[in-house]
Amino acid sequence: MLDGGTSPMNSLGLAKPPAETRVVVAMSGGVDSSVVAAMLAAEGYDVVGVTLQLYDHGAALARKGACCAGRDIHDARRVAETMGFPHYVLDYENRFRESVVDEFADAYLAGATPVPCIRCNQRVKFRDLLETARDLDADCMATGHYVRRLVGPGGPELHRAADPARDQSYFLFATTPAQLDFLRFPLGSLASKAETRALAARHGLTVADKPDSQDICFVPDGDYAGVIRKLRPGAAEPGEIVHLDGQVLGRHEGVIHYTVGQRRGLGIGGGGEPLFVLRLDPDRRRVVVGPRSALATRSVQVAEVNWLGDGDFEAAPEGGWEVAVKVRSTRPPKPARLRPLGAACARVELLGAEEGVAPGQACVFYAPDGDRVLGGGWITRD
């Protein structure tokens, strides 16, 4: 492919030879980003690996001898040494705490269900790190996310990964058009994670068999409430568990122990119909429960909308934008109507009811066929 009839486009869509193309690769120490760095280095790109030290497990969990990203930093450095490119570790701990961790704790205390991985991409990796990449005179920044960046008539577009089981587009809805212009996602077109691990083995990377991380990075044991107690000592106060009809069913030790849609671990005994957490009322320190049918909703209010679709977001067709939406990362896109209520807020009308929609979660918009990401917003209380 030629640009202006003279310069051949490289595999990253830039009109420069790989050797003259500097790529900053965000390296977490896992197999995905390691493979991205190795692939690009093998193609002859001027690769610079950057690993962010974001948190300290010892501090987060008040446990001695647990160094945050010690192992991950070591693994990333080993990959850089194996492939022969420079690697830097940047201390972003304060930025990460201020931009992600503090909000995570405060959101839980306010009865919301936050998604810190999205905030990390939005406020740290694709903002601060991306600016660092520009300062390093990079032509682009590559990550190990499973999502596709395709160039359409209006410029770069964000699309779901080729492998639906690995797709991470839900977590990248807040990526702006300007950021998308600079970002690259080399793994998005791979058929499976097995292919990624095979590439790691082919390049002789020691992380080829490294397990995937399953939890939020600063909550490695999955105990959200435990981390919040450390971050906000004494903030979680006991209160009542109340049925939707107003009947008090029991007591709880803090709303941080509950999430909307939860059934198990309510501590109110058995008998009768199964009960689910319907909403959290932190001001009155109440956990409201009820039947599963009460979890269903067909209308969702969203704020902080980031629009990646064509045209002006507010200039929606009559009846709103026809979209598909995901209200949780693990659920498939469902048909909906998106009605703008301003430049950055909207009402999402689901054609079929969804259960367990909770404030603090993301609602991500896709094209009707569920492939292209059109943006998204944060679910708020009505």
pLDDT class of 2 with cuts at 50, 70, 90: very low
**Does residue 58 carry a pLDDT above 60?**
no
Helix ranges (DSSP H) in the chain: 31-42, 57-61, 70-83, 93-96, 102-109, 116-120, 130-135, 177-182, 193-202, 224-231
Amino acid at 104: F
Enumerate domains of the chain plus CATH numbers.
2-202 (3.40.50.620), 237-290 (2.30.30.280), 295-380 (2.40.30.10)
pLDDT class of 3 with cuts at 50, 70, 90: very low
Rounded Cα distance, 96 and 227, in Å: 15
Give the model's pLDDT for residue 164.
Answer: 93
Active-site residue set: 120, 217
- Is the dihedral angle over the CA atoms 228, 282, 361, 141 positive or is it negative? negative
Residue whose pair of structure tokens reads 């082919």 in the numeric block: 202
Question: How much of the chain is in helix, strand and coil states, percent to nearest 5?
Answer: 30, 30, 45
* pLDDT 10s digits, 370-379: 999 999 999 9
**Does residue 220 carry a pLDDT above 70?**
yes
Give the orientation angle of helix 31-42 with respect to helix 193-202, to 10 degrees.
Answer: 50
Give the model's pLDDT for residue 249.
Answer: 93
pLDDT class of 64 with cuts at 50, 70, 90: very low
State the DSSP code for 151.
Answer: E
pTM value is 0.90
* pLDDT 10s digits, 186-204: 999 998 999 999 999 999 9
Mean pLDDT on 121-137: 93
**Does residue 232 carry a pLDDT above 90?**
no
Mean pLDDT on 97-104: 92
Mean pLDDT of the chain: 90
* pLDDT 10s digits, 297-351: 999 999 999 999 999 999 999 999 999 999 999 889 999 999 999 999 999 999 9
Give the model's pLDDT for residue 241.
Answer: 95
Give the model's pLDDT for residue 68.
Answer: 42
How many other CB atoms are there within 10 angstroms of residue 331's CB atom? 13
CA distances from 32 to 49, 71, 158, 184, 207 (A): 13, 16, 19, 13, 9
pLDDT class of 7 with cuts at 50, 70, 90: low
**Does residue 231 carry a pLDDT above 50?**
yes
Give the model's pLDDT for residue 65.
Answer: 35
Paired tokens of 236: 């979680």
